[in-house]
Amino acid sequence: MEKVKLALVSYVNTIPFIEGIKASAELNNKVELIVDYPAKCAELIKQKKVDGGLIPVGALPEIKGYNPLTNYCIGADGAVDTVAIFSQEPIEAVNTIYLDYQSRTSVQLIQILAKVYWKKSFLFLPTQEGFEQHIPPHSAILIIGDRVFKFEKEYRYKIDLSKEWKTYTHLPFVFAIWVGNEKVKLIEEELNRSFELAMQNIPKFYNELLTIDYNTFVNYLTLKIDYTFDKKKKEAIQLFTKLSNYR
- pLDDT block averages, 10 residues each, the chain of length 247: 90 95 92 89 92 93 91 98 95 94 90 96 86 81 90 92 98 97 96 97 93 95 98 97 84
Give residue limits of the domains in the chain: 4-77+174-236, 83-169
Give the pTM.
0.93
Kindly report, residue by residue over 132-158, the tens digit of the pLDDT: 667 889 999 999 988 899 888 889 999
Q: Which of 44, 42, 76, 77 is nearest to 61 (CA)?
A: 42
Amino acid at position 127, single letter: T
Superfamily for domain range 83-169: Periplasmic binding protein-like II (3.40.190.10)
**Best CA proximity match to 197, nearest among 55, 5, 27, 51:** 27
The CATH code for residues 4-77+174-236 is: 3.40.190.10
Q: With CA atoms as reference, report the closest residue to 85 among 147, 42, 140, 153.
A: 140
Nearest to 96 by CA among 40, 137, 143, 157: 137
- 3-state secondary structure (DSSP) of residue 21: helix
Strand partners, 35: 8
